[in-house]
Structure formats: C-alpha cells, structure tokens
Structure 1
Amino acid sequence: MPPRRRWFLAYVWWLPLMMAAAEDQKGGSCSAKRCGNHTISRPFWLVDDKTGRSCGPLDFAVTCHSNRTPVLWSFGDDGFEITRISYEERSLRVVDLYKRNHLHNNTNSCHVPSWNASDQLGRLFRVDPVNLNLVLYNCTKVAAAVARRESALVQIRCGNKSNAFVRAGGRYDATDDYDRYHMEGCEATVVPVLGVHGMANASDYEQLISGGFLLTWQTDPLTKQIKKNTRIRMQERPHPTIEQPRLPTRKETHREEKWPDLVSPLKPSCRQRGPHALPLRKVEPERLPTENEYCE
C-alpha cells in the first residue's frame, strides 16, 4: 500500500479520537494507568478501544497490547514499543516494531520500509542526538550486485536471495544531509539505534534494531500558551483598593463651622469681605486656595 494512502487511512481512523481528545481536555486529564511494568500517565494516555475515549494529544496516545506491552502511536504500521520511560527526564526508549518484525532471519522476504523513523513520530517528539544511524538499503538487482562488493555494506539475512543491505552511519542529527548515504539504484532508510558503548556494528543490525533508540518529548506549545495567557489574565485583575483620604471641596473650604482657622489668618482686607469671601483667582477643584488667591 502506498505510504500516502496508508497515512490517510490512519488519519481517518484516528480522527474520532482526535476530536474526542479536544473535548476531554476541557474536563481534565485521565488518571495514571498500568500497562505491564509501566505506568502510563500525563502527558501519555491509554487508548480505550471500547469507548473510544481519549485524554490528550494524539502524539501521546498509547495502546496496551495483550495488557502488558505499551506501544506508542505512530504514522507507521506497527508503532513503537515502549521499553523504558522517564517522566523526570522527559525521555523514553522505544523499538520500531515494523523494522524489528520484518528484518530478521525467520522471514521469507525482506520488507525494508521507505520512511525514516523521524517521519513516523508525532510533532512533539525528537530523536535524541545520542543515537547512531543505521542505514538500510533496498536495491535493484543490478545495484545489489555492485553493493555486494562494498566492504562497508552487510547483506540483510532474510529470504533466499536478498537485495537489501545495511551499513553503520555516524551520530544521529536531525539536520543531517542524508545525501551522503545515497547509492545509485538503492533506496536508503535511516534508522536510529543506541548502539553498544556508542558503537554500531552493521553485522549486528538485528540486535541494534531490537535494542531500540532514545526519544525525548516536549510540552505542547498550545498548552503552554494557554497557561501563559491564564497567568496574564490573573495578573491583570484589579486588586482591592483602599479609599485614600480626599481633599475638601471648594464649598467645604468656605464653611466657617468646619474651617474656622481659614478666617483668622487672612489679611485684613480679606476679613472685611467676611468669612464667606470667594477667592479672587480661579483655583483648581479639590485644592485649597492660598491666601494670595483670596486677597490681593
């Protein structure tokens, strides 16, 4: 089946779960659950095949095979088996099930996938740079004859006569230019592996693939933005204010019973006008006029 058609069918199948996840996130996340020896908790969540209920982003969906094997959802056929998970370090060790199940001696024919591991992962996951590259080649008959003479290439041991090969690459780099692994007449696929003591021997490709590789994850940017906006709104709320003492109004300043001291210190010319004399100069509201503003 062509990759585009396979991804489209996977998208159609997961669309109801994606819509349900958006609704469920409004009401909170699901509680932690056990799958074999692993605890699956936020941000990961176990898929409920019976109810179709989901508890978070599709990237973190996990199915529990046979009630003992947690498998991370992917755009590929079989997903990634989780062998170790660290919530403190935000990392997990996974095994590409499709490659492990189709690239070994017990199969009648080789099925070398045409997509890299990074293409199968959700947008919130990254292949850790500690991994090494294992390069798989699916060659034509003519190219395979040439490849057999290459000392750096190891023929994949599956089927009666295999046109698939493998070689060890360098350190994994998401920005790496894979053109350096190009071979005429062959299709190359890059597989991250942890290796043994930082080394990868192409002859041990089955062991390397079964050993898995290291992934890290990051928080959903949308979730972080929602939390940030919530904090901003909380900060913008007005705090309770205490009423400050106010200045007396103009009418209050001319009432002798409340302000008897306003009359006595005035100049004689002011006293002649009486205690209710208006200021000769216009003053600002809420401010007591000075003596010069009363009389000149």
Structure 2
Amino acid sequence: MPPLFLLPVVLVLFAAADASPAACRNATCGVHTVAYPFWLQNSSASALDCGYPGLGLLCLNNTTLILPIRTHQYKVLDIEYGTHTISLTDADVEYYSTNSSCPHLHANLTIDDNSWLQLAASDSNIAFLYNCKSNDSWTSAWKLTGCAAESENSSYVFLDDSITGEAYYYECETVVVAPVLDIHKKAMVGVYESLPPANRSFGEVLSAGFKLTYSAHSDKCGKCERTNGWCGYPHNETSTTMDFTCFCEEGPTKSHCGVLCLANHTVEMCITPLFACGW
C-alpha cells in the first residue's frame, strides 16, 4: 500500500486534471503546427491558456495562418520553434501580384519595446511613398510604375526609412515602412546600385517576408515537454500576473510532469519513473 502521506498530494494533482486545456495539443492550421507561445484564437475557449496574450493566431479556411498585430493582419509563412522565430508577410501583399510594379501597402508595422515579438537581426526596411508631388532631387528613390489613382503625382520606393520625414514635406498621400529580409533587399540592387534587376520585383521581396523573434521561457518549456507535458500561459482575469504552466495528465504544475520531491530533496517519490528530481 502506498505511504499515506503521499496520497493527498496525488489526489490533489488528479483533481486538477480537468483544468488541463486539451486544445493546446496538436493544434494545426494547414501545414502549420501551432504550439506555445502561440495559440489558435478560433480553436476553443480553453485555447486562451495555451500561449501568451497577443500571440493568438487565426486559421482561415484551415489553410492560412494569420497573426493580427494591432489592427492589421500578417500571414504566417513559417514558425521555427527551435530558433524562436516566426516568418511573416503583410497580408496586403496577397492582393497584389508578386510581379506587380506597384504593390500597395496600407499599414506600418509598429512593435513596442515590451512586446513579446521583436524584429530579427536579419530584417531591414524599405519605404513606399505613394502619390507624391514629383521631386527630381530624390536620386536615391526608385519611381514606381503602374500605381492606381495617380495623375500628375508619382510614387516611389526607398531602400531605407530615413526619407519618411522629407516625404511628408513633399506631400505624399501615404508613407508605409515595410520590414523585409535584408538579404532579399540587397538582391534588389544592381551592380551599380542604380536599378533593380529586371527579373525581380518589389512584390517578390515583400512576399519573401520578414522575421520576428520571441522569448518562450524555453528552459521551462523544454523541461515540461521532456516529461510529456505541454506548455501554457494561463490568463487570470482577477490578476495582472500570468505564470508559465506545465499542463500534465495529472494536472497543471509550474515546472514539469511526473516527479514529486521532498523539500530537502533527500527522498525522491516519483509518480512517473525515469525522471530525476531537482530540476
């Protein structure tokens, strides 16, 4: 018969098993696997506990994964959980051919310093200036062709965002700074840095996307997953604090599954064998 002092602890763990959000397991959208710290907004109510606030993804037609940032949508190209990066492209690009000579974007990407997501070191910027008064002094600009709603005005693209202040001076209707992968931006520049190669377009560079990095408490989550748990970040409406949680078959814990240790670590009492105490 098991020691009596162990039974209350075991009973408490199993009593909490109903709190485990099964929606965290095997969440997919098309070819994408959605796991901590991301979660599917249109999966179930319990999926809210599967990841960080603000990192809920939308699955459209069970094929397209979307990350909403503020009021704009970005299509997910890939999530690399091993390197903690997510690759995105502006959803506006989907409405324009990648061969378009004038892709029209509508929103700047704004990321706060305290955001879960941050621009990766591999990113760079290009600036689109739409429907501006012509200015021949913009020697670093490439004039866009085929833009709609233009009469005597012109649209331009710059390979950085340093021109944005000057653009307002020249009465541009819209200025959008778009993150892109720096390697693709450099490929746009010809040998003499004057013209883009004829076989590439700005639509292609935008479609290739950009990367954001995230911190996922990887040590904690890895420890949890190695003991057959799955990681979550429960949202407590009565508190402003949210803690990492490892959801186990036995119930939620703050660390990992299957191991119970005495406070002094002198005696190990394991529900699931083969895993050591002291993590």
TM over 0.5: yes
Specify whether residues 46 and 226 from structure 1 end up closer, same or farther in structure 2 by C-alpha distance, changes over 3 A only: closer
Could you tell me which runs of 5 or more consecutive residues in structure 2 were left unpaired when the two chains were aligned: 1-18, 190-195, 218-232, 234-240, 247-253, 256-261, 267-279
In the TM superposition, 1:1-296 aligns within 5 A as: 27=20, 30-48=24-42, 54-55=48-49, 56-77=51-72, 79-101=73-95, 112-113=105-106, 115-119=107-111, 123-140=115-132, 143=133, 145-146=134-135, 150=139, 152-159=141-148, 161=150, 163=153, 165-170=155-160, 179=165, 184-186=170-172, 187-196=174-183, 199-201=186-188, 204-219=201-216, 239=264
Cα shift at 1:160: 5.7
Asked whether the 8 Å contact 1:168–1:201 carries over to 2, the reply is no
Shift of 1:101: 2.3
TM-score normalised by length of structure 2? 0.55
Contact 2:24 2:47 in 1 (8 A): no
Moved over 6 A (4+): 103-107, 224-227
Greater radius of gyration (CA) = 1
The structure in which a higher percent of residues are strand is: 2
Identity, % of aligned positions: 20
- CA 1:103/1:159 → structure 2, altered by over 3 Å: closer, same or farther? farther
Q: CA deviation at 1:104?
A: 7.0
- How many residues matched? 199
- The CA distance in 2 between the partners of 1:46 and 1:62, in whole Å, is 5
Verify the 8 A CA contact 2:111 2:118 in the aligned structure 1: no
Q: Deviations over 1:194-246 (max 9, x none)?
A: 1555615385211111111111112389656899xx79xxxxx97499xxxxx
Q: 1:169 to 1:180 in 2, by over 3 A?
A: farther
- Give secondary structure in 2 for the equivalent of 1:118: coil
* Cα distance in 2 between the residues matched to 1:223 and 1:213: 29
Unaligned runs of 5+ in 1: 1-25, 232-236, 242-296
Alignment RMSD, CA only? 4.3
Relative contact order: is structure 1 or structure 2 higher (C-alpha 8 Å, sep ≥ 6)? Answer: 2
Distance 1:71 1:44 in 2: 11
Is 2:100–2:203's contact at 8 Å kept on the other side of the alignment? no
